[in-house]
Structure 1
């Protein structure tokens, strides 16, 4: 039997095993975590479909290869999915409003989605189009939540109440940049250029 992970390690022959070392998160039960629809909020032939992609980076700018992202959003009319479940037939093309994607070895992720319509606040104030994003990564006890706005919605972004409440120099960390085949949005979980995350769990 291997003693590589015995604790304490100073005497792996006669010493008792000692206490089990603590860990920050896990273990996880992953049943149904990967699923067939995966990162496709819409099917490949859905009108207006594009790539929303980027990297998840740590405080040193290094990729995080084993993180997971989830997104939720409204459809192009600004309507949220209200029917239970997101199941679609294989090859289906309907709007599902939700996507889940793990990062690869270079910390890259990619969703296939459409531009959401504007959803007003509960008091009727207009908001800019946005995608809600949750980031799960090693060492995080709780997912980090942010919004992804779009750089070609400058007028709407300027009037958005949440984005306007963020310090001006940090707003860019919540804005995806238009590229030839969609939008790029890099997530930085720490550091001077950290993505603005929202305290959605505040009591």
Structure 2
């Protein structure tokens, strides 16, 4: 007799129900000194955009502290129909001997668990070189963790699978 097996439940595509809110992408107020946008796209292994992902960020403030007036340190943004997300925040400071970085979680359809990664900043080469977490990533893969300066902030694209897959860490 064969057994009937129920497939595992994924984390999407219903992320917009109860998980998004209007202020989610706004870690700091409009006009906050030093405010920058962290923007990017989420793509699947075939290179197609993921229009129903959710990107969450956690970070320290520019002083390396996690609690500051007017700075929540947490952002959440669903991707749009073109797979884009945008979070207005402040560039973080160094924390505990690590380079400035933002912790990122990605939720998307087809995933059984959230994916966890980090955003480092390409314009912080000395700090990045000394960062123990970034140093543990194979040199040829580190570029997938670097946000590049662009216009009014930084660009950080996330690729879920394939040859250009973003480095993800155990949660």
TM-score normalized by the length of structure 1: 0.77
1:128 aligns with 2:114: no
- CA deviation string 1:135-171 (max 9, x = no partner): 0001101100000000000000000000001000100
Q: Residue 118 of structure 2 aligns to a residue in which SS?
A: strand
Q: Residue 76 of structure 2 aligns to a residue in which SS?
A: strand
Structure 1: which 5+ runs fail to align?
1-18, 83-92, 121-125
Alpha carbons of structure 1 residues 131 and 31: separation in structure 2 relative to 1, 3 Å = same
- CA deviation string 1:113-149 (max 9, x = no partner): 11101000xxxxx110000000000110110000000
Alpha carbons of structure 1 residues 29 and 189: separation in structure 2 relative to 1, 3 Å = closer
Q: Residue 71 of structure 1 aligns to a residue in which SS?
A: strand
Check conservation: 2:56, 2:106, Cα contact below 8 A. Answer: yes
1:114 maps to which of 90, 99, 104 = 90
Q: Give distance in 2, aligned partners of 1:194 and 1:157.
A: 20
TM-superposed CA distance for 1:25, in Å, is: 2.2
Question: What is the correspondence of 1:43-122 to structure 2 with a 5 Å cutoff?
Answer: 43-81=29-67, 94-120=70-96
TM-superposed CA distance for 1:191, in Å, is: 0.1
Q: Give distance in 2, aligned partners of 1:39 and 1:56.
A: 16
Alpha carbons of structure 1 residues 78 and 102: separation in structure 2 relative to 1, 3 Å = same
TM-superposed CA distance for 1:21, in Å, is: 6.6
Structure 2: which 5+ runs fail to align?
none
Q: Give distance in 2, aligned partners of 1:185 and 1:150.
A: 9
- CA deviation string 1:48-95 (max 9, x = no partner): 00110010001111100000010000011000138xxxxxxxxxx811
Q: Give distance in 2, aligned partners of 1:63 and 1:106.
A: 6
Q: Give distance in 2, aligned partners of 1:30 and 1:109.
A: 13
1:153 maps to which of 124, 139, 142 = 124
Q: Which structure is larger by alpha-carbon Rg, 1 or 2?
A: 1
How many equivalent pairs are there?
A: 167
Higher strand share: 2
TM-score normalized by the length of structure 2: 0.90
CA RMSD of aligned residues (A): 2.1
